[in-house]
Amino acid sequence: MKLFFKILSLFLISSLVFVQCKDDEANVFRAYVEGKFTYSDGKFLENPIHLTVDKKIIAESYPKESGSFVLAGPYNKGAYKLQLKNFKIKSFSTETVGCKISADSLSIEIPDGMTYVIFNDITLK
């Protein structure tokens, strides 16, 4: 009986070696956004910040007391947003070309293909 379990265990372990990822999972990238907010209202820290794609949240976090944040979520293609809930964005600085403040000032639009973005400073109104 012990021999049977040893053989079964070896078979299961060796079969795990040959398991491959699905093509869908292999082609999914991560959107990674980090930065720092400058704010005057301490209530800002109580609200989550999001990465969104087509109004769907792919990442959520809260800024630290220093205003710094890191967000990462699954990214396939297309533009996505760094979204705030109740605070408007006055200005920002980044070396990533093509980012812009949305018309309602509640988000920063990040262009298609940009999977790693660092905001040096995001100033809130």
Instruction: Identify the structural domains of the chain with CATH numbers, from first to last.
Output: 27-124 (2.60.40.10)
pLDDT digits (tens, 9 = 90+) for 65-83: 999 999 999 988 899 999 9
Q: Whole-angstrom Cα distance, residue 61 to residue 70?
A: 7
Report in angstroms the alpha-carbon separations of 120 from 3, 35, 92, 99, 110.
62, 6, 7, 13, 15
pTM (2 decimals)? 0.76
pLDDT digits (tens, 9 = 90+) for 29-42: 899 999 999 988 88
